[in-house]
Each structure stands twice: as C-alpha cells, then as structure tokens.
Structure 1
Amino acid sequence: MLSAAQNDLITRITSDRPAGKLLRCYWQPAALAIEVEGERAIRPVRLLGQDFVLFRDESGKLGFLDRDCPHRNADLAFGRLEDGGLRCPFHGWLFDTDGNCLQTPAEPKGSRLCKHIHQKSYPVVERSGIIFVYLGEGQSPAFPDMDCFLAPDPYVFAFKGLIDCNWLQALEVGMDPAHASFLHRFFKDEEQDTAYGRQFRATSADSDIPMTRVLREFPCPDIEVEPTDYGLRIIALREISESSTHVRVTNVMFPQAFVIPLSSDMTITQWHVPIDDTSCYWYAIFTSFDQPVDKETMRAQRLKLYTLPDYRPRVGRFNDYGFDPYEQAHHTYTGMGEDINVHDQWAIESQGKIQDRTREHLGQTDKGIIAFRRMLVRAIEQAANGQIPMMVLDPEQATHIRGPATMDGVGPTSGWEAYWRAVDLRRRNGAPWHAAGTEKEE
C-alpha cells in the first residue's frame, strides 16, 4: 500500500513532475509508421501531456514539431505537405522537419522574418514499424540491441491500442503471472490451426499442452523475480508432475515495456506510453524467430477490436466491455468475450483513471510489481538529482542489452533453470535473421 504522495510520484508524467522528467530521458513510441504513409502523412500526437505534430515530408524524412504554429498558434496538424515541408493553412508559414521556417509568404517582399523563426523540433526515428521520439534534453540515448530491433522487417509486426487509464496500471498487468489463470481462463482448448497470432492459444514448447489448459488447471504458480541490467526477469513455475513443470519467462524492460512470449516462435515487446496522466497507448512489436510474420492476418485480427484512425477499442468502459451475465454464467469466465485485450482493458481501467494505490493490498503474487515500483522510485530520484538512470544507454552499453529471452514451455521439474535457457538458445540459433549472438548472461 502506498501513500497518496507516493502514488502521485510514480504516476504523474507532465514535464513539471519527477516521473515526467524521468520518462523524457528515453525514446518514446509516438505513432505507428503506417500512420504517416500515403498522401496525407500528417498526424497529431499527444504524448506525455504535450501536443505535437508528426509528418513525413515529400522526400520521406520524418519531422516531429510542437503542434502550435509559432505565428499565431494555429494547429499545424491541419497543415499542408508541400514545397519541402509542412505549411500552416492560416498564413502559409512553411516549416521543414527540423523546425526551420522556410517561408512567410504573406509578409512583404524582402522580409527576413522567417530567418528568425524556429519551431521546436525533436529527434525522431523509425524502428520496426514504430516511430520513436526523444523529448528530453541533451543527447538522445542509444537503442539497445533487442530482438525486436535486430529482426528485419518481414519478421516484425507493429500495432497499438488506446487505453483509458494511467500508464502505470496498464504496464503493471504484465508483471503479474497469476492473473492469466483467472482473467484469461478459457474453458475449452482450441485447435492449433486457429492459434496463430493469439495470446495463450498455442501449445507450450516441448509439449502438446495448450497454454489455455496449463493456465486453467494450474492456477497457483511459484513466481521468481530476478533483477537484470535491463529491468526484471519474472519466471512463473507451474508444477505439472514430479517430473515436469511449466516454465514461463517474461521480462520488464525499464521503464515502460514488458517482453513476453506469444508462442514458441514469437515474442511481444509492448510499451505503455502516456498520452497524459489519465490515458495511454500500448505499442507492441511482435517478433518472429521462425517464419516471416503474416502481417495481413495479424492486422486483421486486431482491427476486429480497434477502430481507425485513433486505434480506439470497439468495447470499453463506454459499453461495459461487452459484458453479458448469461455468457459469464454459461460460456466464458469473464462474460466479456474471448479476446484477452478486452479482459486486460477491463481489469486496468476498472481500477480508475489513476489507480488509488492507498487502497490496495498486495500479496506474494505481486512481487514483480513491488520490485518494479522500487526500481521506478529509485530512477525517478536519480533523474531528479541529475544522475543517469537505468537504461539510458550510450552506444557501447546498448550492444550489451540483448534479447531479452522469453519462453513458455514444459521442462523438467529438476533442472528447469538450464531448460529455459536451452530453449531460448535453440530458438535464437534457429532464427534465419539472428546474427548478433545470444542474450548476455547475468
């Protein structure tokens, strides 16, 4: 249980708050690359409580600028892409991707006003289908050599979704291995030909046991939490028999992501990115170690739940998450259908716009959440004191952050520690694109 002041410290992310200063030390997902493709490659972006405009100019270069035109503060997200930049429709002022003012066409001939005008711009890069921006001061950090960034385009797929609550409670659901046995309980196991791209539907590695069955029949895992140089490794053990144990390895990538297995051949790296204090987006990169990703199928699956252009969920707080009491009594555990994104969304949004952690009572299964909060507070204090917090990497340090390993398999009850590492190594060495070595051992 936290005090109100402690809860504010770890949840509030505007630029004048300590956690806001911390999060501005990192690259932040700002949009999917697909959102700035086509004829009108301009998107408004609200990120960490600030308003921006993202655009791709006629040459394909990305720009990320403050959203209000420096002339009379009109909205640049309604601008025109022309003449090598983004033009404000109010008076025609034109800005390039670096924020330089190229033209002020309504000014008298010979005016040099534009030479003195500069719109604030931010470093922006595209990685694995996501556009990242750096909002902090000074030199931007290096990207770590994570699988999702090393894998070539055919082997990654990116998507996102809007969540109507604070970023931290959205992130914390991924640190809780126990909830899946209840919130994501399925009464029947599906055929494997329908499992592609769907969480908890595939069989666990080295077995013919679907994850749905493991979660349903073994609801009380032993949980181990290990500190790493990138954050936390969380291992959930469900003993099936004296000789075999289900092992699930997931990770917290500080400060805002978790890395989890989708299947024996695919992982999910998912960031939780504040729009403001009371809403956020999840951004995910699905990375395949086996075959190229079927992006058309993956996108179609997810667009059944989300609407364009803002990736808003089709069900949510506004329609009780599709809850049907008859369905809950007779067909599904939650009464909210079979998509686990809906289940997670209900769980975290029902905690309130910002969870009141003064009212919670944590248990043994929450040890990952407890460890992360301590890590977060320590990093907030470091950033406030001008120190370099965890995962603000220089180029040399970035090469040592590998993987991280994830897996979901059935191995020996005695010797599971070596088993999961062997499974990760086998999958990694078998990946057609893998050439960067194995995960760094702690």
Structure 2
Amino acid sequence: MISQKLNDQITRIGPQTAAGAVLRRYWQPAALADELRASNGAVPVNLLGERLALVRDASGDLVLATRVSSPDEPPAHYPDPQSIELVEGGPVYPVVEKKGMVFTYMGPGTPPAFPNFDCFRAPDSHVFAFKGLWECNWLQALEVGIDPAHASFLHRFLQDEDPSDGYGRQFRDKAAHTDMPMTQVLREYPRPDIEVEQTDFGLKITALRHMANDLTHVRVTNQIFPQAICIPMSREMIITQWHVPIDDENCYWYTMFTSFAKPVDKDVMREQRLKEHRLPDYAPLKSRANNYHYNPDEQESLTYTGMGLDINVHDQWAVEGLGPIQDRTREHLGRGDAAIVRYRQMLRKAIKAVESGEEDMLPMRGGADVGRIVGPLSNDAIASTHDWKQASFLTDMQRRAECPWDASV
C-alpha cells in the first residue's frame, strides 16, 4: 500500500502535476488518422487535462491548438468540428503522423526521437491502429497490461475455439510448436513465475508457466516508458498499446497491431472493433451503464466474466471497477505484482529527475541513441525448462528472419 499523497503524485496528470510533467516529455497519441480523414474540419482532442483541436496552421501544417470548451464539457466530448473556436495565444503543440496515429509533443524543449520499434518501422500495410475509451485513470489501465498473471483468470475461456477462426483476436492462436490453444495454456497453468528486468526503453517482463514433461511456456511482454506496453497477440502479430490520459479520471487506449508475416486485413480488424465501439468518441458499447452485457449463463459455461469474447471488455470492467482513480492506500501487492512495483519505482524516479532538472536521466531521453532501440521482443514460446531463454530468443529471431520487411535486431 502507498500513501494518498503518493497515489495522487503518480496518477494525476494536469499541466502542473508531477506525473503530468513526465508524460509531457514524451510523444503522446492524440488521434487516429481515421479521425482526420472522417473530419470536415478541426478534430477535437482531449488530452492530459487540456481541451485541444487538430487544425492546420497558416502554413498548412497540422498542429494541436488550444480550443474553447465549456466548464461542464464531458471528458471525451466531440463537439461539432465546424463550431470549434481556438484560444488566441494559447499553447500550440507539434504533431506527427505515424502508422495510422497522430502523435503530439506537449513538453518543453526539443521532442525526443521515436525509437526504432517494430510498430514504427513496419510498412503501413502491416500496421493497423485503433483506440477505445475507458472511464478510469490511466495508471490502473496501464497496470493491468503489465500484470502477466491476470490473463489466466480475467481472460479465462472455458471452451477453446478453433484458432483458425480467430484472426485479429488475442489468445486465439496455438502455442508455438504445439497443438495446444493459448486459451488452454493460460487456463491450465494460471500462476506463472514472473521475471522483470530494466531495459533502455522500460521493462522486459517474462512470465514462465511450468508445464508437464519438463516444458515451460515463456511469454515475453514489455512496458515502454512512460505508459505503453508491447505484447504478443499471436505468433504473427504484436500489439503496441499506449494508455493515454484524457484527464485524471478517463483515458484512451491507443493500439498499433503489427504483423510480421502477411499484411494486416484492416477492413476486418476495423469492422471487428467497430462492432464493440461507437463513433465519433470510440466509447465501448458495453459499459457500466449496461453492466457490460453480463450474462450468467455465459459465465457458467464459456467465459470467466460472462461478458463476451472481447478481452478488451474484460479489462475495461476490471479497471473501471476500481473507481475513477484506484485507491492504492489499501492494496496489498504480492509476488505476481513484480512488474507493477518496478514500474512505480521507475515512474517515481522519473518524477524526481524532472523536478531536479535532470531530464537526461529519463528513459529514451538525453544522450540516449534512441534510434538504436529496436524490437522489443514480444512473443510466446514453449521450450525445455532448462533452456527457455535461448528458445524464446530463437523463436523471435526465426519470426524476424522470415519477415518480408526489415525486422532485424
């Protein structure tokens, strides 16, 4: 457990806050390219406690400018683009479009370079971007993503689908080099050993599920500082996901789905997700207001939550159920929370670095050669228990060697 003062320090992100100062020193997703294409005018953006709009400046360049908003405007409100009024003399932030997302830099000085992550260097044909609204603080949204054990419980499927029918869905694949569905692996081996190591970009998180016959399932995920994760979706695809604060009590998840093999079927993936979200605010159709479509019959025979097959809904229920801002003064972290503990330490260290003017100490800032940061390794593998590290690495190298675009590391 932590004090209320510390909980406030690591969760609140307004312009004059400690955590907000850290997040503002990194590129943040501000909108989807799909939103730009669909708009006939400015695109409203609510980000880090500020009400903004994507507009063209006098030179025709896209920028993020401060817009006029009413005091009672909902956090994810999308006003009529034609009615948006900008604040004369208000902050204007630079933007850049990458792989279907529009990023902005809201901090002081020169923006940092983008790392050479797979999601950024894959061709456009192999990357699909989407987002969704969650009514909770950004930190609890991030922390569910760096908890490797939660998938065995929150995303427990009591029946295993045919993996060939699961394109574009997480955990709808067979474990590497076996005929065992991933859903079965997670269900039958629910309590992994977890190893966490610090990297140039954040944290590498390895979950080890020890199986029969001296085999171990190895699942490598990553925390990319300050508030992204990179995780395997299937053997072919990875997910890079940012948890982006709208304000203290609401956030968006922005995701890039990156394929190592075939081009992504963007129409299929968009259609899948639009069945679960409404436009223009990308709010999920299942929510607290309709009890997330909870079905006790489904819970009896199909899923742990009884809330359908979309795991985003499971995560949404879990993080929104903690309240707008999770009360960490009464929590009791355990062995399975190793990555959450390490991340909070890293965030507190970054806060101190900014407060003391030592911004070069931040991950991927200062003198770091960010362009040399590649990957990161994010995959599932089953290997001999005594040789799991090498086997996990070689599985990733094989996937990269067969990749039609340059995925070399």
TM bucket, shorter chain: over 0.9
Counterpart of 2:6 in structure 1 is 6
Corresponding position: 1:295 with 2:234: no
C-alpha separation in 2, matches of 1:366 and 1:55: 42
The equivalences for 1:282-361 within 5 A come to: 282-361=253-332
Q: What whole-Å deviation, never above 9, does each CA across 1:181-219 have from its counterpart, x for those lacking one?
A: 111011111112211110111112222211100011111
**TM-score, normalised via structure 2 length:** 0.93
The equivalences for 1:24-423 within 5 A come to: 24-38=24-38, 40-55=40-55, 61-68=61-68, 118-388=89-359, 389-393=361-365, 397-423=369-395
The structural deviation recorded for 1:89 is 8.0
Contact 2:155 2:303 in 1 (8 A): no
C-alpha separation in 1, matches of 2:350 and 2:270: 36
Secondary structure, in 3 states, of the residue corresponding to 2:153? Answer: helix
The structural deviation recorded for 1:34 is 0.8
Q: What whole-Å deviation, never above 9, does each CA across 1:313-350 have from its counterpart, x for those lacking one?
A: 00111111111223323432211112111110011110
Report runs of 4+ in structure 1 exceeding 4 Å deviation: 56-60, 75-80
C-alpha separation in 1, matches of 2:157 and 2:351: 39
Q: Please say which structure displays the higher CA radius of gyration.
A: 1
Contact 1:41 1:56 in 2 (8 A): no
Query: Structure with the greater relative contact order (CA < 8 A, sep ≥ 6): 1 or 2?
Result: 2
Q: What whole-Å deviation, never above 9, does each CA across 1:273-314 have from its counterpart, x for those lacking one?
A: 000000000000000000000001111111111111100000
Aligned Cα root-mean-square deviation (Å)? 2.2
Q: What whole-Å deviation, never above 9, does each CA across 1:153-190 have from its counterpart, x for those lacking one?
A: 00000000000000000000011111111110111111
C-alpha separation in 1, matches of 2:78 and 2:258: 35
C-alpha separation in 2, matches of 1:386 and 1:206: 50
Contact 1:231 1:252 in 2 (8 A): yes
Contact 1:35 1:41 in 2 (8 A): no
CA 1:147/1:301 → structure 2, altered by over 3 Å: closer, same or farther?
same
C-alpha separation in 2, matches of 1:214 and 1:79: 47
C-alpha separation in 2, matches of 1:409 and 1:200: 13
Ranges in structure 1 where 5+ consecutive residues have no aligned partner: 70-74, 81-87, 100-116
Secondary structure, in 3 states, of the residue corresponding to 2:372? Answer: coil
Percent of residue pairs identical? 53
Counterpart of 1:104 in structure 2 is none
C-alpha separation in 2, matches of 1:341 and 1:134: 27
Secondary structure, in 3 states, of the residue corresponding to 2:354? Answer: helix
C-alpha separation in 1, matches of 2:381 and 2:7: 36
Ranges in structure 2 where 5+ consecutive residues have no aligned partner: 70-76
The structural deviation recorded for 1:38 is 4.3
Q: Which moved more, 1:157-166 or 1:301-310?
A: 301-310
Q: What whole-Å deviation, never above 9, does each CA across 1:42-91 have from its counterpart, x for those lacking one?
A: 2111100001011357997422111139xxxxx997565xxxxxxx788x
CA 1:331/1:132 → structure 2, altered by over 3 Å: closer, same or farther?
same
CA 1:221/1:336 → structure 2, altered by over 3 Å: closer, same or farther?
same
**TM-score, normalised via structure 1 length:** 0.86
